Structure 1
C-alpha cells in the first residue's frame, strides 16, 4: 500500500533535526518557524520517502524551508511604481535537503533568487532559456549562462523523470563558492547529492516570495493587486498540489 502521509513523530523528528542544524549554523530560526508548513512533500506519491527514511538516499521530492524574512518593501515606494512592486521586495530563507532528495522543477514569474551553500553541496539543474509568460518583451542584462551537461547517474524521482527534461544545464555549488543567481522565469530544480555525508543547507536570498499563505484570506495584501498571487509554478501537477499542504497523521 502506497504511503499517503507522514506520521506526527516522523515529521517532528524531521523538523527538530533541521531546526537544530540551522541553529548550529547560526541561522535565526525562532520557535514559530518550526511548524507544520516548514516541511514540504511535493505530492502524494512522495510520502514513500518516509518508508525507508530521509537518509535512505532514494530520490524523492521533499525538503525543509525556514523563512526568516519576507518583506514586501512597498513602504516609501513611489505610487507610480506600484504596478511592478510585486517583482521586488526582500526574502531570506534557509533550505535543507537530505541526500538524494530534490526541490522539483519549477519557475517563478516574479522572483529572482540567489543561492549560498552553507553546508554540503548543491546540484542545480536549470534551463538557460526563460519560460515565455505572456507575450511582452522582457529586459535582459546578464542572461543565465549555459551550464555544464548533467553528470551520469543522477537518479530522478520515479514517475517524475519527464518533468526534468527541459533542465538541460547543470552546476554543482559548494560552501564558499560565489552566490549563484537564478533569474525569474527560468525553470530550475536542485538536490543534495546522493553520496553526500551531510544534508544540503543552502541560504536563498531573493525578491519577495508570493506564497499562497502570504496572501491568504485572513491576511491583508500589501497592495490589492497582490491578493491571490501564487508565484511557484511546478512542472509536475502533483508537485503543485503537494506544495500547498503536508498530510501529517
Structure 2
C-alpha cells in the first residue's frame, strides 16, 4: 500500500477554490466542517483500490436509508436519519475528491451523484410523511409525498437549466447569470436568502430539523411537532418551486 499524501498537497488537488467558493457549488456544511473531515478520509481512501463511483453509490445508499430510518419510532429513528445524512454529505465530498486525485472523473459518476441527491431528499421527505402518519390519518403520508415531489421539482428545475444551455450550445451559467433581472424578484430573493428558510427543503437541514422536533416530541409525548414540521416543509417547498421557476425565467440563465 502506498503512503498517504500530505494534506496540503491533497487539498490543492482535491478541493479547488473555484468549487469551494462557488455559491451553488458547495453546501455550507461542506465549507463549515465536512471538507475538513472528508480530506482526511480521502487521504486514506486514495491509497486503496476503491473507485469514485463506488463511493458515489455508497452516498446514495446512505441518503435513501435515512428515509427508511425515519420509520423507526421515537428519537432513535430521527437520530439515525440525521447520522445517515451526515454520511451522505461525507461521501458526497469524498467521491469527488478521490476522483480528482486519481483522475477518474466520469459522466457516470456525475449522473449517479445527481440521481442520489434526488433520491436521498425525496426518501427523507417520504419517510417523514410516514413518521407523521403513525397512529393517525394516512393524509400525512400524502403530505410527505407532496414535499418529496416538490423537492424533486426544485432540483430538476435547476438541472434543466444546464440541459437547456447545453442543447443551445451555451457554456455553463456562472453565478452572475443567476441574478433576476427584475428588481422586485431580486429583492424577494435577497429577503429569502437573509432568512435562509429555503434551506429546509434540503435533506441535510431537514434531517437536523426533524431530529430537533423528535426531541420536542419526546418531551411532549406525541408527534405533533413532527406533523407541524412536515406540513411546513411541504408548504415551503411548493412556495420555493414557484419562486425558483420565476427566478430562473427572469434571470440570464437561459440566455
Q: Same fold (TM over 0.5)?
A: no
**Higher RCO structure (Cα 8 Å, ≥6 apart):** 1
- Shorter-chain TM range is under 0.3
Structure (1 or 2) with the greater helix fraction = 2
Task: State which structure, 1 or 2, has the greater radius of gyration over its C-alpha atoms.
Answer: 2
Give the TM-score normalised by structure 2: 0.27
Structure (1 or 2) with the greater strand fraction = 1
Give the TM-score normalised by structure 1: 0.27
